């Protein structure tokens, strides 16, 4: 049976560019409305510094100032109808965009920009903890910026002055909501991360939930538990937390918020426990609404529901653009922005100019995709890296004539390259990390040639360690295990029933490619109708070779690799019978890979396509 058009509204708003002057105009699209309940949430996660918005993609072109305006307008609406609205962020705010990565120290402007949003519950991600200086800034800046609202249920910090191990922030928060009087107890977790710097301690979730403070907290008499975390919704950590809470409170509603895997997702744990995860890179703002909570009902027109069996949990994934923000608030170009939001947008523009992020490096000759093109292929970012870049930049002048194999993990690249202008900002967007090239000299070719298959296929060699080969790939690859090929559907006069996504009426404009999410609640979560896009699986690592003999295999090679994968490389070498350890690893190039990539772009993509 064809789906009805009733849930959708096609609106034509007066559109202008997003707040950043160089951002493209958002595109008119079919929209779903946001369902309101007693308790409502806006969630961000894995923003990775993209607080200026996407300056080459109109559907995600709103900036952090626009999001502040949106949240303030939604708060006004919540107060008018007597509902509650909370804002949540679940970590990985750093590493991934020039607004954070291009400054010295990193985040010089970005921390001040981010703190302007009135977030009610916030926690850390793994990227805040990879580098000791980033972890220190998290403790000295972000935690006090959100004092009383930053939660660190299983994360400790080592004070540099005393060596004392202390909680990064408070373990939980208990509060009562403004309008509905709902009694809330909130936690903030990080998944069982082991790659953190030595000034932090991440305690396994399974151990944390056995501690007295947690056991006491889950026995509190509250109306709702909120568990936020940089944790995938279907991972073992949330299953353990859910089981622990349910062992004491079998009927109390639980709302989880997740992150880390960079996807839109919604999970059902039982009839009164659900989870929401809101994508990545300021592409998505998550919306969650809960109705039927047995609260005090302080004021407003929403009626208290006596029976919790009547509860409902509903979600939306909001595309981050002004078209959607104005639609959901019922406002227009002149009435939507708040003074606060506009000031933050102006601050972002000032920061981008100070960091010279629009400085021209070159002109990309075509689109290069991480997962929207198969690997290997001409449009694969990784095929380009493998065939054109790696062997060229991985050259040590003293050993340039030595045969070498260069291994790079696919998770070291973070975003697509679009045809056209490539700027200083683009470099950080594609390659934001401070990784350098290392090598082990004169490795037997027979052993070195086994590295790529072992790193890509995993298997028993890593099971005895804490290393997981899947950590080498981009986070988006964590939860998708097969190629998803977008169907070439004809334009139809109604929706197609079943799982296939179909455009609206034949008279509708062309749809922008984007998310067509399917989750535990079905396929109606996206607030904007998109044309589907393909998603292809990619390997954990790729490899290039250089200075190899033409007619035979060399006896030994220099095994070159990005420093992040050193533990995996050494483990794989031991499996082949070699006895290499950290003492055998040397620096191959002093520059960080991001700078090597920028130099390659300047040299090979010199054409000026600005106009």
**Whole-angstrom Cα distance, residue 327 to residue 62?**
14
How far from 357 is each of 52, 73, 131, 369, 589, CA to CA, in Å?
11, 31, 23, 22, 25
pLDDT, residue 19, reads: 64
pLDDT, residue 121, reads: 99
pLDDT, residue 299, reads: 47
Query: If the chain, 611 residues long, is cut into consecutive pieces of 10 residues, what is the mean pLDDT of each piece?
Result: 33 44 90 97 98 96 98 98 98 98 98 98 98 98 98 98 98 97 98 97 98 98 98 98 98 98 98 98 98 69 47 97 97 97 98 98 97 97 98 96 98 97 97 97 98 90 85 92 77 32 38 93 97 95 97 96 97 96 98 98 91 68
DSSP structural state of residue 49: T
- Report the C-alpha dihedral over residues 281, 343, 341, 335, rounded to 10 degrees: -130
How far from 258 is each of 202, 461, 534, 601, CA to CA, in Å?
17, 30, 24, 36
Q: Is 526 helix (H, G, I), strand (E, B) or coil?
A: strand
Q: Parallel, antiparallel, or unpaired: how do β-strands 541-546 and 404-409 relate?
A: antiparallel
Q: Which residue has the tokens 């996660």?
A: 45
**Whole-angstrom Cα distance, residue 224 to residue 186?**
9
**Whole-angstrom Cα distance, residue 182 to residue 434?**
45
Contact 153, 228 (CB under 8 A): no
Residue 105: cis peptide before it, omega within 30 degrees of 0: yes
pLDDT, residue 458, reads: 79
**Whole-model pTM?**
0.92
Largest CA distance in the chain: 82
DSSP structural state of residue 471: G
Q: Which residue has the tokens 């932090």?
A: 200
**Whole-angstrom Cα distance, residue 158 to residue 163?**
6
Scored b (16 or more CB within 10 A) or e, 538-568 reads bbbbbbbbbeeeeeeebeebbbbbbbbbeeb
């Amino acid at each position: 049976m064809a789906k009805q058009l009733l849930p959708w509204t096609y609106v034509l708003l007066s559109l202008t560019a997003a707040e950043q002057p160089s951002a493209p105009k958002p595109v008119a699209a079919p929209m779903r409305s946001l369902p309101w309940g007693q308790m409502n949430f806006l969630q961000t996660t894995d923003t990775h510094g993209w607080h200026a918005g996407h300056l080459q993609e109109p559907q995600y072109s709103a900036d952090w100032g626009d999001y502040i305006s949106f949240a303030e307008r939604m708060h006004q609406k919540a107060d008018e109808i007597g509902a509650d609205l909370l804002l949540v962020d679940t970590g990985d705010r750093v590493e991934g965009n020039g607004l954070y990565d291009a400054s010295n120290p990193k985040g010089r402007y970005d921390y001040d920009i981010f703190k302007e949003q009135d977030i009610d519950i916030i926690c850390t991600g793994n990227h805040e903890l990879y580098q000791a200086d980033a972890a220190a800034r998290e403790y000295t800046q972000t935690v006090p910026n959100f004092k009383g609202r930053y939660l660190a249920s299983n994360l400790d910090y080592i004070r540099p002055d005393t060596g004392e191990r202390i909680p990064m922030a408070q373990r939980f928060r208990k509060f009562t909501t403004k309008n509905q009087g709902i009694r809330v107890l909130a936690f903030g977790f990080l998944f069982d991360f082991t790659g953190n710097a030595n000034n932090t301690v991440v305690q396994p979730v399974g151990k944390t939930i056995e501690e007295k403070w947690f056991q006491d907290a889950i026995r509190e008499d509250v109306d709702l538990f909120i568990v936020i975390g940089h944790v995938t919704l279907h991972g073992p950590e949330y299953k353990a937390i859910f089981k622990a809470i349910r062992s004491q409170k079998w009927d109390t509603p639980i709302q989880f918020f997740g992150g880390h895997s960079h996807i839109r997702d919604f999970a059902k744990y039982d009839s009164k426990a659900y989870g929401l995860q809101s994508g990545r890179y300021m592409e998505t703002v998550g919306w969650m609404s809960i109705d039927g909570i047995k609260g005090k009902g302080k004021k407003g027109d929403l009626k208290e529901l006596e029976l919790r069996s009547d509860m409902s949990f509903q979600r939306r994934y909001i595309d981050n653009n002004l078209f959607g923000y104005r639609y959901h608030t019922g406002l227009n170009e002149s009435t939507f922005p708040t003074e606060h939001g506009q000031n933050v947008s102006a601050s972002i523009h000032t920061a981008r100019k100070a960091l010279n992020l629009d400085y021209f490096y070159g002109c990309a000759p075509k689109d290069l995709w991480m997962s929207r093109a198969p690997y290997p292929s001409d449009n694969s970012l990784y095929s380009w890296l493998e065939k054109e870049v790696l062997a060229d930049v991985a050259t040590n002048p003293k050993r340039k004539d030595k045969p070498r194999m260069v291994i790079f993990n696919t998770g070291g690249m973070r975003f697509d390259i679009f045809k056209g202008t490539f700027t200083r900002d683009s470099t950080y967007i594609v390659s934001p990390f401070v990784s350098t090239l290392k090598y082990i000299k004169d490795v037997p070719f027979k052993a070195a040639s086994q590295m790529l298959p072992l790193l890509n296929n995993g298997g028993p060699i890593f099971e005895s360690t804490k290393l997981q080969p899947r950590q080498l790939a981009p986070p988006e690859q964590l939860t998708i295990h097969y190629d998803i090929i977008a169907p070439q559907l004809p334009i139809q006069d109604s929706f197609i029933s079943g799982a296939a996504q179909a455009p609206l009426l034949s008279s509708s404009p062309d749809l922008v490619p984007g998310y067509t999410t399917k989750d535990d609640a079905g396929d109606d979560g996206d607030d904007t109708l998109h044309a589907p896009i393909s998603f292809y699986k990619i390997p954990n690592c790729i490899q290039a070779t250089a200075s190899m003999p033409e007619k035979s295999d060399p006896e030994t090679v220099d095994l070159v690799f990005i420093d992040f994968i050193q533990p995996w490389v050494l483990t794989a070498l031991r499996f082949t019978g070699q006895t290499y350890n950290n003492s055998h690893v040397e620096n191959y190039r002093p520059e960080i890979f991001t700078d090597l990539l920028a130099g390659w772009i300047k040299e090979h993509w010199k054409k000026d396509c600005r106009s």
